[in-house]
Amino acid sequence: MREPVEDDKQIYLSPEMTTRLGAIDIGSNSVRLIVAEALRGGNYRILDEEREPTRLGRSVSTSGQLDDESMARTVQALASFRQIAAGYQVTALRTIATCAVREASNGPAFCRRVCDEVGLEVEVITAEREARLAFSSVQHALDLTGRNVVVADIGGGSTEIVYATGQLIEAIFTTPLGAVRLTESFGVADAVGADAFAGLEAEVAACLKKRTTRPLFAPHFLVGSGGTFTTLAELVMAGKRESDLPVAGYRVSHAEVRHLLDRLRKIPLRTRRLVPGMTPDRADIIVAGLSIIDGLLKRFRCNTLVVHTRGVRDGLLREMIEEALGAAAGPADLAGQREAAIERLAAACSGELEHGRQVAWLAGRIFEQLAAPLRLEPGDRDLLQWAARLQDVGYVINYDQHHKHSYHLIRNSRLPGVRPQDLELVANVARYHRGAHPKKKHENLSRLSAEEQKRVEGLAAILRLAGGLDRSRSQQVRDIRLKADGDAVTVEVVADQDPQVDIWGAQRRTDLFEKAFGRAVRVEWGGRLPESGAPERGGEKDKSRKGRGRRHAGRGGEQG
């Protein structure tokens, strides 16, 4: 398998979309600007990048507030960045803030000040969103095909961690491990004694153990995003006389990290700033930063890390371009893009394409026939059918718990034209296509409102019933006819031959439906297709067949 290599993959735009965009990232250690131009023909190129080390988060861990001096420096840097962006005549400029502003009690006041004095609207993003943006940048720069990786983005106040299988996010963890925060907490800016260093290492290890779980897969390597990783690469390269090599994609071994850490912690700050490859304004926080890297490699049992030179701001820029594409696309284009995205995700992960399509079609038939008597939300049919198509994508992680992994993979995916809140509903419906019933104590369900939880329960109930009707994985059910009568629902299954396995499968999946809707479910074989044929499925009509056969009825409570 070839080595992962960072490249200059471009984002492809329509010929008429020639525009300039700017993205600003207000971090705990520094503020960064990136200005890019989307070129005619589909490429984009970086026009300018600026960085100003303002140390905005330097007092947050001790006082809980942003201090006046660092705020003033940050406001000044932002004013300069805005002028630079204006000079490039950007058509859109977005500004995000991360850990320092997110945690500080005076963070909202700082954002108002930036708006009043600079004219920039600051969006304070969550740690999870920060991780997603960093991963988006990584997946565009590195070939992750067939790789299990851990992606870590180390900032001044926090470290975000992503587990990924290929291009798919399996889990996201956020930690309060930041290079600036730990430097202040343990006083490791200057030469570090053995006791202080042992305390620092113990804190990193304990935090990672508490805040993360080890992935089911063995990571091939760790991908590092952020200035700490870039400085690490430059230090190692200088020591090996490899400074002519590109930093992007540079590989560093755990042994090299440990050797460098042991060396730098003993050096006084004034001398440390002069070490070849050292970025002077990072010299005081490098020991804390390398300790986090060392802890990550130990925790996830990785011997190699790959350095990624971009990060959150690059991910934001890509998101802006994708949004521009989405705004330019019509409903038909978005539907086509969404269909292609669902198909790619299902094909890459589940190997159950035909089963997923059949279950989606059956779920749609149940929904349309029971929408009125069960008072279902009309727009929920799409959510239900998307969940059906993607219910088994968790197979790529682990079969036994695949429904739980499906939730994470769907939630962390991107479907064109689907709002994040709707994607959360789709992920939850897929999560409950088997296994335990939805419970309020489940973390994934607790994120939803009471009304949304009820919708998930009802849609999952329909999905379970539809899944049972293709228990044989043979797609032999040609249609279903449903009748709601009083406190019961009758399901007539139309098939060319007696579908005993599928009827049995449906019978064993009725319990959640009966709980959600308060109606008993009866499943019967209704014979073969009449001459008029089946309703449309997948854009085509099934061939007409007819016949008669014996009936089956029953109820049950299968969880799997």
**Sequence-ordered list of residues with C-beta below 8 angstroms from that of 311, at least 6 positions apart, any chain:** 25, 133, 134, 137, 153, 225, 226
37 has pLDDT over 90: no
* Contact indicator for 468, 493 with CB cutoff of 8 Å: no
Whether the per-residue pLDDT at 407 is higher than 50: the answer is: yes
Q: What b-and-e string marks burial along 494-510, b requiring 16 or more CB atoms within 10 Å of the CB?
A: bbbebbeebbbbbbbbb
Whole-number pLDDT of residue 48: 94
pLDDT score of 414: 79
* Range 474-490 average pLDDT: 92
Here the tokens at position 336 are: 């086509």
499 within 8 A of 526, measured Cβ to Cβ: no
* Span 543-548, average pLDDT: 33
| Cβ pair 389, 344 in contact under 8 A | no
Centre a 10 Å sphere on the Cβ of residue 181 and count the other Cβ atoms it contains.
Answer: 27
Position of tokens 């890019």? 36
- Reported as type and span, the H/E element at residue 27 is none
When pLDDT is cut at 50, 70 and 90, the band that residue 2 belongs to is very low
Place of tokens 């249609």: 479
**Looking at residue 541, what DSSP letter applies?**
E
- Which residues, 6 or more positions from 439, have their beta carbon under 8 angstroms from its beta carbon? 445
Q: Are 20 and 35 in contact (CB under 8 A)?
A: yes
Q: How many whole angstroms separate alpha carbon 399 and alpha carbon 380?
A: 28
Mode of pairing for the β-strands spanning 477-485 and 159-165: unpaired
pLDDT tens per residue, range 116-160: 999 999 999 999 999 999 999 998 889 898 899 999 999 999 999
> How many residues belong to the chain?
560
Percent of the chain with pLDDT over 70: 89
Q: What is the pLDDT of residue 545?
A: 33
CATH number assigned to the domain with residue range 19-126, chosen from the 4 options 1.10.132.50, 3.30.420.40, 3.10.520.10, 1.10.357.20: 3.30.420.40
DSSP-derived secondary structure for 160-207: EEEEEETTEEEEEEEE---HHHHHHHHT-SS---HHHHHHHHHHHHHH
**Positive or negative, the Cα torsion across 385, 388, 394, 396?**
negative
Give the contacts of 167 (CB within 8 A, at least 6 positions apart).
139, 144, 145
The pLDDT tens digits of the residues spanning 59-68 come to: 898 899 999 9
Q: Is 119 exposed, middle or buried (0-12, 13-18, 19+ CB in 10 A)?
A: exposed
Fold agreement between 128-314 and 329-541: no
CATH 1.10.3210.10 correct for 329-541: yes
pLDDT of residue 125: 96
Pull the structure tokens for residue 404: 């739980």
How many other CB atoms are there within 10 angstroms of residue 270's CB atom?
10
**Predicted local distance difference test score (pLDDT) of residue 319:** 84
Are 143 and 126 in contact by the 8 Å Cβ rule? The answer is no
Q: Return the minimum-mean-pLDDT range out of 99-113, 334-348, 419-433.
A: 334-348
Give the per-residue pLDDT at 329.
60
Could you give the 3-state DSSP secondary structure of residue 425? helix
Element (H, E) at 34: strand 31-38
Which amino acid makes up residue 377? E
Pull the structure tokens for residue 262.
Answer: 């042991």
Q: Where are the domains of the chain?
A: 19-126, 128-314, 329-541
Q: Summarize the confidence of residues 250-274 as an average pLDDT.
A: 97
**Is 128-314 in CATH node 3.40.50.300?**
no
Q: How far apart are CA 281 and CA 425, in angstroms?
A: 45
